[in-house]
């Protein structure tokens, strides 16, 4: 399974994230160990309070455990992996929290340790924790006979669509998948060999090239005007970008690009995109209604199962306890050695009952995950269809020439107008210049308009 870890502060924010039942369909607090409180958020506050006696600001060690997409991993396997993480990173005996999240028909886990050693009031050091976790991750793939990601075999074969938390959050604001955004920009880069072809390829994906304030080359989305760093999303170094695109200073800034998007993207296109988004939301809303109903049904089913399980455990424990006689008869059983035999039998039955209960719960969860994954296929299909239709609209927009390169400098544009219309640069007549420019546009041949006219209502 993929293990991602970080040293961090912000215990309260992390606690809220772990208990987030809005983005996660099922949240289960599996363990709160070594804290006075059994509440996740309160335990995080305890960890922060302990850190106040030290100079440590990153007093937490947070690890997410993500198994392969279609793997049904039992609790014991997660517990084993978490214990091995703890042993290899000098965290044995440290307070920890384990929470399971379930969404889209799959389960993953979060384990958080306090780094503060209460005996020495120092933070446990975590040298080379990323390398250690990567090695453990490879071991888990081999032990469970899962297909290992190619990036584990060779760094050169890592999935270029992998994204950071910041990229995931930005894609979420755009109601897109971060992997899709990276793929769009990387595809545009792959099919281009110069600035003009790259700009054209970007426009077909719904972006326009611009100059960022701090990030050099950026892409501005045509609909929501989100700004994406080309270096991060394309995976190319600034020197590679500059070699193909020229100096970033010569590109229009984000504000000018946004203004040009407002003026160039036709009202008809915006209307079509909004209609497409409305259709998508309607389709997703129907599926989301099914998802919520399924989530609620699964929660009730788990509650019923847990209630039945608890009742059965109590009844079985009571039955086993009744076998141990008390008083004179119990003393007689002890003298004959019968008492120890009954105790051993009870212990074995309790062990087998625990195994049975875990297996039944694992079967229940596996059945629910399978049911949820079937619904996720329909959800992913709607998203994929919307993305394909949106890209088709952007391609049509680009082919109709409705997005033109932004003039690099206003002076050059004015000089071109002056040379064409013989207007004096020292005292330009603005009205005459605009009228002449409009007349020239009318005389130009109309572009090929095969297919639906995006400019017409």
CB 414 within 8 A of CB 428: yes
Boundaries of domain holding 60: 2-157
Judgement on whether residues 7 and 129 belong to the same structural domain of the protein: yes
Backbone φ and ψ of 104, nearest 5° = 55, 30
pLDDT at residue 30, rounded to an integer: 93
Q: 368 in a domain, yes or no?
A: yes
Q: 65 in a domain, yes or no?
A: yes
Judgement on whether residues 149 and 179 belong to the same structural domain of the protein: no
Query: CATH code at 83?
Result: 3.30.930
Judgement on whether residues 152 and 260 belong to the same structural domain of the protein: no
pLDDT at residue 401, rounded to an integer: 53
Of 211, 241, 264, at which residue does a domain stop? 264
Judgement on whether residues 254 and 334 belong to the same structural domain of the protein: no
Judgement on whether residues 311 and 368 belong to the same structural domain of the protein: yes
pLDDT at residue 409, rounded to an integer: 38
Backbone φ and ψ of 319, nearest 5° = -65, -40
16-19 long-range contacts, CB within 8 A, separation 24+: 16/41, 18/97, 18/99, 18/110, 18/112, 19/99
Judgement on whether residues 349 and 223 belong to the same structural domain of the protein: no
> Which residue has tokens 């912000």?
10
Per-residue tens of pLDDT for the chain, all 457 residues = 889 999 998 888 888 889 988 888 999 999 999 999 888 989 999 999 999 988 899 999 999 999 988 788 888 899 999 999 999 999 998 999 999 999 888 899 999 999 999 888 899 999 999 999 999 998 998 888 888 776 665 555 455 555 555 665 666 666 666 677 788 888 888 888 888 888 888 887 878 888 887 668 888 887 777 888 888 888 888 888 888 888 878 888 888 888 877 776 656 666 777 778 788 888 888 899 999 999 999 999 999 999 999 999 999 999 999 999 888 888 888 888 998 999 999 999 999 999 999 899 989 998 999 999 999 999 988 888 888 887 777 776 666 554 444 444 334 433 443 444 343 333 444 455 545 545 555 555 444 433 333 333 3
- Distance between CA 119 and CA 169 in Å, rounded? 39
Judgement on whether residues 138 and 176 belong to the same structural domain of the protein: no
pLDDT at residue 10, rounded to an integer: 87
pLDDT at residue 418, rounded to an integer: 40
- Distance between CA 112 and CA 99 in Å, rounded? 9
Of 212, 243, 264, at which residue does a domain stop? 264
Which neighbouring-strand residues pair with 228?
219
Judgement on whether residues 316 and 239 belong to the same structural domain of the protein: no
Judgement on whether residues 150 and 6 belong to the same structural domain of the protein: yes
- Distance between CA 160 and CA 345 in Å, rounded? 57
Judgement on whether residues 129 and 31 belong to the same structural domain of the protein: yes
Of 244, 264, 284, at which residue does a domain stop? 264
Return the closest-CA partner of residue 98 out of 23, 40, 59, 42: 40
> Which residue has tokens 């995950």?
369
CB 427 within 8 A of CB 238: no
Q: 116 in a domain, yes or no?
A: yes
Backbone φ and ψ of 27, nearest 5° = -125, 125
Q: 278 in a domain, yes or no?
A: yes
Q: Give the chain's radius of gyration (CA, Å).
A: 31
Give me the number of domains the chain comprises.
4
Cα angle: 100, vertex 17, 134; to 5 degrees? 60
pLDDT at residue 229, rounded to an integer: 84
pTM across the whole model: 0.65
Judgement on whether residues 23 and 147 belong to the same structural domain of the protein: yes
- Distance between CA 1 and CA 64 in Å, rounded? 10
pLDDT at residue 450, rounded to an integer: 37
H helical segments located in 20-115: 40-51, 75-88
Give 262: exposed, middle or buried? Use CB within 10 Å, 0-12, 13-18, 19+.
exposed
Q: 10 in a domain, yes or no?
A: yes
Q: 404 in a domain, yes or no?
A: no
Helix axes 195-204, 238-245, angle to 10 degrees: 100
- Distance between CA 183 and CA 190 in Å, rounded? 10
- Distance between CA 54 and CA 57 in Å, rounded? 8
Q: 198 in a domain, yes or no?
A: yes
Return the closest-CA partner of residue 124 out of 94, 88, 97, 98: 94
Q: 79 in a domain, yes or no?
A: yes
- Distance between CA 211 and CA 215 in Å, rounded? 8
Judgement on whether residues 220 and 315 belong to the same structural domain of the protein: no
């Amino acid at each position: 399974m993929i293990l991602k870890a970080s040293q961090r502060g912000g215990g309260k924010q992390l606690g809220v994230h772990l208990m987030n039942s809005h983005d996660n369909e099922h949240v289960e607090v599996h363990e709160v160990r070594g804290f006075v409180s059994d509440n996740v958020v309160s335990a995080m506050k305890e960890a922060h309070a302990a850190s106040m006696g030290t100079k440590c600001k990153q007093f937490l060690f947070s690890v997410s455990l993500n198994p392969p997409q279609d793997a049904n991993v039992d609790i014991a396997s997660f517990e084993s992996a978490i214990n091995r993480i703890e042993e290899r990173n000098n965290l044995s005996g440290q307070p920890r929290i384990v929470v399971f999240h379930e969404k889209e028909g799959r389960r993953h886990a979060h384990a958080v340790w306090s780094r503060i050693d209460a005996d020495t009031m120092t933070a446990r050091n975590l040298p080379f924790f990323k390398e250690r976790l990567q090695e453990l991750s490879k071991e888990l793939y081999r032990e469970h006979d899962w297909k290992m990601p190619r990036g584990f075999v060779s760094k050169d074969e890592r999935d270029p669509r992998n994204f950071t938390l910041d990229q995931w959050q930005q894609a979420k604001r755009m109601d897109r998948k971060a992997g899709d955004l990276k793929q769009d920009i990387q595809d545009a880069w792959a099919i281009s060999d110069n600035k003009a072809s790259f700009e054209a390829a970007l426009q077909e994906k719904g972006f326009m090239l611009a100059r960022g304030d701090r990030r050099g080359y950026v892409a501005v989305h045509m609909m929501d005007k989100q700004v994406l760093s080309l270096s991060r999303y394309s995976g190319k170094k600034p020197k590679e970008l500059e070699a193909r695109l020229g100096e970033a200073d010569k590109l229009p800034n984000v504000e000018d690009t946004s203004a040009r998007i407002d003026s160039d993207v036709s009202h008809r296109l915006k209307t079509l995109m909004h209609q497409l988004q409305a259709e998508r939301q309607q389709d997703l809303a129907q599926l989301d209604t099914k998802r919520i109903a399924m989530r609620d049904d699964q929660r009730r089913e788990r509650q019923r199962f847990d209630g039945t399980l608890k009742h059965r455990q109590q009844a079985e424990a009571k039955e086993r306890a009744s076998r141990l006689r008390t008083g004179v008869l119990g003393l007689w059983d002890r003298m004959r050695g019968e008492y120890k035999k009954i105790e051993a039998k009870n212990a074995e039955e309790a062990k087998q009952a625990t195994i049975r209960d875990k297996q039944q719960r694992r079967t229940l969860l596996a059945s629910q995950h399978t049911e949820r994954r079937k619904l996720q296929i329909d959800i992913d299909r709607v998203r994929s269809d919307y993305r394909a239709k949106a890209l088709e609209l952007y391609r049509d927009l680009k082919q109709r020439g409705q997005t033109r390169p932004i003039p690099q400098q206003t002076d050059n544009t004015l000089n071109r107008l002056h040379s064409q219309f013989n207007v004096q640069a020292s005292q330009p007549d603005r009205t005459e210049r605009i009228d002449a420019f409009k007349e020239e546009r009318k005389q130009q041949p109309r572009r090929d308009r095969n297919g639906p006219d995006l400019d017409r209502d």
